[in-house]
Amino acid sequence: MKQLMSPVGVGEKAVRRMFREEAPWDTEDMGGAGPDLDLYEQQLEAIFAPDGLLARHIANYEQRDQQLQLAKAIMASLKRERHLLAEAGTGIGKSFAYLIAASLWALQENKVVIISTNTIPLQSQLVEKDLPLVAAVMADLNLGELRYELAKGRANYLCKRRLEALLLRAQQEEVAHLDVARRLWELKDEVREGDRPSFPMAVPSELWQLIAGDAEDCHGSDSPYFDHCFIQQARRRLSSAHLIITNHAMFFSDLVMRRREGSGIFPSYDHVIFDEAHRIEDVFSSFFARQVTFSQVEMLFRMIRQKWQTWMEDVFDAETLAQLNPLEQKVRQQMLDALDAVGRDLFMPAKPPEEGREMAEDGPAWTVLLNKPLTMPARLEETLTELEQFFRRLLETKAQEEPQRRGLERLLQRAEGLKGEMGFIFGEEGGGGWAHWAEWHVAAGEQLTDLFGQHIALVAQPINARAILPETLFAKVPVTLVSATLATDGDFSFISGRLGLDQYDAFIAPSPFDYQKNVLMVISEHAPFPNVPGQAYERFLVHGLQRVLRQSAGRTLVLFTSYKQMHAVAEKLAPWCASQGRPLLVQEAGGERERLLDQFRREPKGVLFGAESFWEGIDLPGDELQCVVITKIPFANPSQPLTRARLDWIERSGGNPFDEYMVPLAILKTKQGFGRLIRRATDRGAVVFMDSRLVKKRYGRRILSGLPPVRMGKLQDIPAYVKGPDTDGVDAEG
């Protein structure tokens, strides 16, 4: 266990509360004075002791020293207001470590902690299973009620006003699912949360979209239901919570709102704990992205016709609409022309391929990384300015009441935002820290048409977080980043460098599981390299997987890095699997992961092919999983525009893109894939690597060094580690 609490630590009182205008961070009074760190550690020892408070609530509780040490490291980060990076191997119990530390601190010092996860299953586990137990422990300490809330976006809640409007409309015209809508109206005052699962019936998505909360169609305090609004009630509960549970997507959505508008979804908070923190750069990058598409224009005018026209008749009267219609046509046509020109210039089949032009291997978009600025059409810029001025005139002359004013202000913001996105992307603003590219969203066999521009997207994303997160987040509030896979080459230099977190405390504790005893690793040393031209590697996978599955009679998970290759292998392997009585389950792009996992659990001899989302965040303990096959080293796809831009940026900075980015990223993802096998101390099984580069290339050994020590063996050794339904297993030490 590596615990570095000062060598890379920040100075005292470095960062404090997020947006605590009423109590600046450098004042002495930050809520209750609270216990000193020594007393906090004594409380943690009493909770995690073999006969301590946790033991009262958990059957067969076993103390884990690493869990207590992690909790102490997090408590030090909370109390001293320092950033912390922590890698806690599988089985340490990191969730209880940070939940208990955060609860003790928040209750005794009147603090607010946001806890953010990447996956919904972990978020649900915290709220439904872990936190009720933690609250009971806090009650045992006589610290009072621990208040915790799950933060959800407004689209998760029923809007009573929109439901009423739909029922009124149903008196004049036919409305789908009217029986469900009427039942929801009957129940609206009987449920507490008001979110979709609150109601004891299935609500069709088509209906829910019409009656759920919508920021663009919100009347705010002018709504007759404002005092009893489910969204407002949820916000009030958040404002009184000690712990707020959310996900990375919602957290960064809030951060974007605070950056652009000065306020966000969450109340003020004092610390952020990111679990599954290895994913925050990708989530951050997607939420700080800028984009221009034709659908943004369509949405702008749809807002007028489908939403505002129903309650802003005095604003959008016949005369106003007569003025708006020709302006709308100009905006639509000029935007379509601009995107069409970009698309035809970059994607016309008659043009020879250029560097950076790649068809995404596993997605619907063909992408081109832009190496020079595009030209913003002058006519379009003038027309967008004209649209802004149109809405400003309406705001000055037509908005007599507050709802009308608020609605027009949103329309104006949309128009200004569209113009701003166009200027940012066409002007390649953001400097060298941003990647700019074009996407053609094309279906198989689709031909160019006069509406080509409708399928073009222009995108800009920050190449890394260094230029934004330090100022936007790290300088404002202390953060704890925790994951089972956060370190590379024994430290946090890769992840901290990517995020721009230059000063932090560090904690590394390996998993307590006995991998040497319970895991057999097999490496196909004679496999052809995956990157050689031709079909040799794909043929090897088909025949090699047959050999693996003959030895592994139980449930086997096969992880791929490419949907295209996964489906090609599945098609060739399916007849053989059927002849052997091995149900073959294959992930579809965008398919429901949990449904496939449930089916896999029901198949004792099941074989599951999974790509991107199956490398992490799935929990298959015991005989639910006995063998993991990793088809090849999970390098990032260098043809993806953001990856390509990151590699170029490192090279321009004088670095080695492969060693400094591709390999560390592959180390983290390999650790994630490997970690699917052993989820409990009693689990055992085999991990098979079908990529000989792990032993033939220098970087392969570097990747393997990131894994825990295991027993090496051959395919014929697998039955000793994997006991399938029809296989007589033997003890691993026998």
Q: Does residue 466 register a pLDDT over 80?
A: yes
Calpha distance 712→174 (Å, rounded): 67
What pLDDT, in 10s, does the model give residues 141-165? 999 999 999 999 889 999 999 999 8
SS (H, E, C) 319-357: HHHHHHHHHHHHHHHHHHHHHHHHHHHHHCCCCCCCCCE
Among 57-66, 300-309, 409-418, the minimum mean pLDDT is found in: 300-309
| For residues 719-733, average pLDDT | 50
Kindly give, in sequence order, each residue whose CB lies less than 8 Å from that of residue 561, ignoring residues fewer than 6 positions away: 611, 631, 632, 634, 635, 637
Res 66 pLDDT > 90: yes
> What is the rounded CA–CA span in Å between residue 134 and residue 71?
13
User: In the structure, what pLDDT confidence band is assigned to residue 16 with cuts at 50, 70 and 90?
Assistant: very low
Each residue's pLDDT tens digit, 42-54: 999 999 999 999 9
Share of the chain above pLDDT 70, in %: 88
**DSSP H or E run through 460:** strand 456-462
* CB of 522 closer than 8 Å to CB of 593: no
Q: Which CATH number fits domain 2-147+468-509: 3.60.70, 3.20.20, 3.30.300, 3.40.50?
A: 3.40.50
User: How far is it, in rounded angstroms, from Cα 211 to Cα 179?
Assistant: 14
Alpha carbon distance 129, 125 (integer Å)? 5
d(CA 108, CA 359) in angstroms, rounded, equals 55
For the four alpha carbons of 344, 347, 352 and 356, in that order, the dihedral sign comes to: positive
What's the chain's average pLDDT?
A: 87
User: Is pLDDT above 70 for 625?
Assistant: yes
- Measured distance CA(247)–CA(116) in Å, rounded: 5
Of the candidate ranges 22-26, 479-483, 543-547, the one whose mean pLDDT is the lowest: 22-26
Check: CB of residue 338 under 8 Å from CB of residue 380: yes
Q: How close are the terminal C-alpha atoms of the chain, in Å?
A: 30
User: What pLDDT score does 430 carry?
Assistant: 58
The single residue listed with the structure tokens 């031209």 is: 533
Reported as a pLDDT band with limits 50, 70 and 90, residue 30 is very low
How high is the pLDDT of residue 395? Answer: 86
Average pLDDT over residues 330-354: 79
Q: Which helix (H) or strand (E) holds 662?
A: none
What percentage of the chain has pLDDT greater than the value 90?
67
Q: What are the tens digits of pLDDT across the range 502-518?
A: 999 999 999 999 999 99
Largest CA distance in the chain: 89
User: In this predicted model, what pLDDT tens digit does every residue of 85-136 receive, in sequence order?
Assistant: 999 999 999 999 999 999 999 999 999 999 999 988 899 899 999 999 999 9
pLDDT tier at 312, thresholds 50, 70, 90: low
Q: Within a 10 A sphere around the Cβ of 509, how many other Cβ atoms?
A: 22
How much is the pTM?
0.88
How does pLDDT run across 179-216, given as a tens digit for each residue?
A: 999 999 999 999 999 999 999 999 999 999 999 998 87
pLDDT at 376: 85
Q: What is the pLDDT of residue 446?
A: 57
CB 600 within 8 A of CB 608: yes
pLDDT of residue 348: 76
Residues 289, 277 contacting (CB under 8 angstroms): no
Confidence of residue 24 (pLDDT cuts 50, 70, 90): very low
pLDDT at 355: 40
**Given this model, what pLDDT does residue 685 score?**
95
Average pLDDT of span 508-536: 93
Segment 719-728 shows an average pLDDT of 59
Q: What distance in Å separates the CA atoms of residue 421 and residue 439, rounded to the nearest whole number?
A: 16
* pLDDT class of 5 with cuts at 50, 70, 90: very low
Q: What is the pLDDT of residue 373?
A: 80
Matching residue, tokens 């300088």: 475
112/118 Cα distance (integer angstroms):
20
Confidence at 345, pLDDT banded by 50, 70, 90: confident
Residue 533 pLDDT more than 50?
yes
- What does the alpha-carbon distance between residue 291 and residue 416 come to, in Å, rounded to a whole number? 14
User: Which pair of tokens denotes residue 415?
Assistant: 């128009």
pLDDT band at 9 (very low <50, low <70, confident <90, very high): very low
C-beta neighbour count of 292 within 10 angstroms: 24
- Three-class SS state of 95: helix
What's the CATH superfamily of 515-720? P-loop containing nucleotide triphosphate hydrolases (3.40.50.300)
pLDDT in tens, 358-400: 444 444 568 888 877 888 889 999 999 999 999 899 888 877 7
The residue extents of the domains of the chain are 2-147+468-509, 153-240, 291-462, 515-720
Q: What is the SS3 assignment for 609?
A: strand
Write down the pLDDT at residue 590: 65
Give me the helix-helix angle, 65-80 and 94-109, nearest 10°. Answer: 40
At 31 the pLDDT is 45
**Residue whose tokens read 């009262």:** 56
Q: How confident is the model at residue 307 (pLDDT cuts 50, 70, 90)?
A: low
pLDDT value at position 588?
86
The least confident of 440-444, 489-493, 534-538, 612-616 is: 440-444
pLDDT in tens, 212-223: 998 877 888 888
Q: Is the pLDDT of residue 261 over 90?
A: no
Would you say 16 and 26 are in contact if contact means Cβ atoms under 8 Å apart? yes
Q: What is the mean pLDDT of residues 575-591?
A: 91
pLDDT of residue 349: 58
Query: What pLDDT is attached to residue 723?
Result: 57
- CA 656 to chain CA centroid, Å, is 28
Give yes or no for residue 728 having a pLDDT over 50. Answer: no
